[in-house]
Amino acid sequence: MRDPKTIRNIAFVGHGNTGKTSLVSALLFITGKTNRLLKVDQGNTVTDFDPEEIERKISISTAVAFTDFEEHRINLIDTPGFPNFLWEAQSALYAADAGVVLVDAGSGVEVQTERAWEVMDTLSLPRMVIINKLERENTDFFSALESLKESFGRKVVPVALPIGKEKDFTGLVDLVSGKAFIYQKDESGKWSEGEIPTELQEKYEEWRNELVEMVAESDEELMEKYLEDALTQEDLVKGLRNSVIAGEIYPVLPASAILNIGTWNIAKAIVELLPSPAERPPIKVEDVEIKADVEEPLAALVFKTLSDPFAGRISIMRVFSGRLTPDSVVINANRGTEEKISNLFYMFGKEHISAEEAVAGEIVATAKLKNTFTGDSLCSKDRPVKLPFPQLPEPTISFAIEPKTKKDEDKISTALHKLHEEDPSFKAERDSETKELILSGNGQLHVEVLMSKLKKQYGVEVLLKTPKIPYRETIKGTADVQGKYKKQTGGRGQYGDVKIKMEPLPRGEDFEFVDQIFGGAIPKNFIPAVEKGIQEARKKGVLAGYPTVDFRVILYDGSYHPVDSSDLAFQIAASMAFKKGAKMAKPTLLEPIMKVEIVVPEQYMGDVMGNLNGRRGRILGTEMKGKKAIIKAYVPMAEMLTFEPDLTSITGGRGTYRMEFSHYDEVPQHLQEKIIEQAKAEGRISAEEE
């Protein structure tokens, strides 16, 4: 049985292209889990195994691998770095005990670095930072370090300094031990100890003093020793670990993952500085405390689901307390159902390594659970608890998707269901009004990846289209009209005659039918047929074929025939009256208005507000939250369909937004004409109705 104290669960996070997957590959290589240094460019890394990832050379979903170093099990959770896949990184952090944040030495802090940092702040996760890609031209460790300090404060402190720069980057100086580590440049990851270069001696003294001071500040006893100039090496090592676990210090190391320089020091720092599951505070769920204790009742969180063509649905979970064995029966606390665990295995990328049991602190997987999905908690029967998990993001971009062939149409539902098991952050819904299948994702790239997977994994090809806007029609004036239907066909005829008044209702009131028939002008048994005729007719308005809303119909007179009148005749007469009255009562088009809330760094507020104004938006107000501006506005749905790429462009990916339907409002006249012409082209209204 593995001791939780010897486990490290580490999520590798940061902006796209900072080298997270490359660093995981280097760690697996130097610890003997792979026999060579696998590379993203060669498409053979352990944690980027999806065909889309290999083709695009980016991580798209979270993957798990493990290694062993100095008698510790390190679970490596490799996360995507592009904003479209932020939720994958968030989910991984809920399963981790610490984060390793990668920063490009040439770019410094980027948007995904900030977002991942915010999530780790929310979870109070300890973390360390790797300034990577120091072998490249125009990179500088100290510039990147300054960027980190500007963004995250003075807690960001180097525990090592680079030796050399750009193509001459060969190793690092450890500020804790005072040793220099010189790496071979053959990608082997081998190193030797050397002397601190003379040109680094002054910087070494400067930064070591800052490190010692920061460690001393975090502990009163150490501060007393520091003031007495008596802080020992042992005090520094112990104090640094305590400070990192407490979130008082974020240690920074230099590296080149692709050249395998600094990897051994990173592995050493993960084991020596970052916490085990046993050193993390208990998770509090209502009145229950979940501790990393093998003797406690089981509590495990499924944080990732994979769809395997051979093994079926694979649930990857973090065990927070207790133990799990094959053939055990557990409770899905989210769904109130039982699940039988048939098998257990460790994930090594896409490989499965059999496990006899999983104990508190471990990351393990099982296959073919019947009713368990990402975010669900598996627990002992006597203590079902729902472990914390991030909410699904609201999609930011939508497309109507149309299968290319009848064969594709038959398969699309099953294929989307399978994709949704792996990635619940997208939505696929049939719009009841437009009849379109709407696919909504977290950005253009997200949707492109989904389309590509549909084609390659499930053989389903689809066309992407701009979704139809669910416009409405209404009236601004009044009308008093007659609808008379009379038909004689040799036998029994058809006769229905209605007189109605039409008038507008306040926005949002939909429809009201008023019966003011007196004296039996229309028998009572035909009144429901009149209303039904209008209800049916209003489904297709007179301007552009959209449903008509926010009006009242007053039935005040009519006539009937004792033999020829029928429900059908009065329905047709009512429909005729509606169409005639709607045309006379100043019909107009309404469009859906969305309430939008946008969060952007303060410096982009003006540009974003200008963009919203250009989209016919109405700014409701702004407020500041730290360095972020929150903009609230009403914007027509039609104008929001292309907002996501514009916001990304304006803010460099640092802006986020969410929106919800608010109300309907009148479409400007010049735009109404275009919508009506489009409706004619699509055949929504016939020549007769024009």
Asked if 192 and 49 sit in the same domain, the reply is yes
Distance CA 512, CA 548 (A): 12
The domain boundary, picked from 279, 301, 319, lies at 279
Asked if 274 and 139 sit in the same domain, the reply is yes
Average pLDDT of the segment spanning 41-59: 95
| Residue 283, C-beta contacts closer than 8 angstroms, at least 6 positions apart | 289, 290, 320, 387, 388
Asked if 71 and 181 sit in the same domain, the reply is yes
Reported as a single tens digit per residue, the pLDDT across 516-574 is 998 899 999 999 999 999 999 999 999 999 999 999 999 999 999 999 999 999 999 99
Asked if 580 and 651 sit in the same domain, the reply is no
What integer pLDDT is reported at residue 232 of this predicted model?
A: 87
Asked if 33 and 168 sit in the same domain, the reply is yes
What integer pLDDT is reported at residue 278 of this predicted model?
A: 96
Average pLDDT of the segment spanning 468-482: 96
Is there a domain that residue 684 lies in? no
Average pLDDT of the segment spanning 150-179: 96
The domain boundary, picked from 379, 412, 431, lies at 379
CATH of the domain at 410: 3.30.70.870
φ, ψ (nearest 5 deg) of residue 80: -70, 155
The domain boundary, picked from 406, 438, 465, lies at 465
What integer pLDDT is reported at residue 192 of this predicted model?
A: 96
* DSSP three-state, residue 156: strand
Average pLDDT of the segment spanning 306-321: 92
Give yes or no for residue 492 having a pLDDT over 90: no
Are 10 and 67 spatial neighbours (Cβ–Cβ below 8 Å)?
no
What integer pLDDT is reported at residue 519 of this predicted model?
A: 87
What integer pLDDT is reported at residue 690 of this predicted model?
A: 47
What integer pLDDT is reported at residue 228 of this predicted model?
A: 83
The token pair that represents 513 in the structure block: 């039918």
Rg (CA), the chain: 33
Is there a domain that residue 90 lies in? yes
Average pLDDT of the segment spanning 386-407: 90
Is there a domain that residue 638 lies in? yes
What integer pLDDT is reported at residue 638 of this predicted model?
A: 94
Share of the chain above pLDDT 70, in %: 99
Average pLDDT of the segment spanning 363-368: 96
Distance CA 94, CA 320 (A): 11
Banded pLDDT at 508 (limits 50, 70, 90): very high
Banded pLDDT at 686 (limits 50, 70, 90): low
The token pair that represents 642 in the structure block: 């292309």
Q: How many helices (H) and strands (E) does the chain have?
A: 17, 36
Is there a domain that residue 65 lies in? yes
User: Pairing mode, if any, of strands 363-367 and 329-332?
Assistant: unpaired
Is there a domain that residue 72 lies in? yes
Q: Give 49's Cβ-side CA count (13 Å radius).
A: 15
Average pLDDT of the segment spanning 270-297: 96
54-63, 378-387, 534-543, 646-655: least confidently modelled range: 646-655
Give yes or no for residue 436 having a pLDDT over 70: yes
Share of the chain above pLDDT 90, in %: 84
* Number of domains present in the structure of the chain: 5
Mean pLDDT over each residue of the chain, to the nearest integer: 94
Asked if 149 and 186 sit in the same domain, the reply is yes
Give yes or no for residue 405 having a pLDDT over 90: no
Asked if 509 and 636 sit in the same domain, the reply is no
Is there a domain that residue 227 lies in? no
Reported as a single tens digit per residue, the pLDDT across 568-601 is 999 999 999 999 999 999 999 999 999 999 999 9
CATH of the domain at 104: 3.40.50.300
Asked if 492 and 564 sit in the same domain, the reply is yes
Is there a domain that residue 688 lies in? no
**Higher pLDDT, residue 244 or 680:** 244
Asked if 360 and 437 sit in the same domain, the reply is no
Q: Which residues span the domain enclosing 370? A: 283-379
CATH of the domain at 510: 3.30.230.10
Asked if 147 and 25 sit in the same domain, the reply is yes
Q: What is the DSSP letter of 298?
A: P
Give, to the nearest 10 degrees, the angle between helix 406-422 and helix 444-458.
Answer: 120
CATH of the domain at 606: 3.30.70.240
Give, to the nearest 10 degrees, the angle between helix 20-30 and helix 263-273.
Answer: 90
Distance CA 171, CA 189 (A): 10
Rounded to the nearest 5 degrees, what angle is found at the Cα of 562, between the Cα atoms of 556 and 563? 130
CATH of the domain at 351: 2.40.30.10
Is there a domain that residue 9 lies in? yes
Asked if 261 and 155 sit in the same domain, the reply is yes
What integer pLDDT is reported at residue 443 of this predicted model?
A: 87
Are 668 and 590 spatial neighbours (Cβ–Cβ below 8 Å)?
no
Asked if 477 and 552 sit in the same domain, the reply is yes
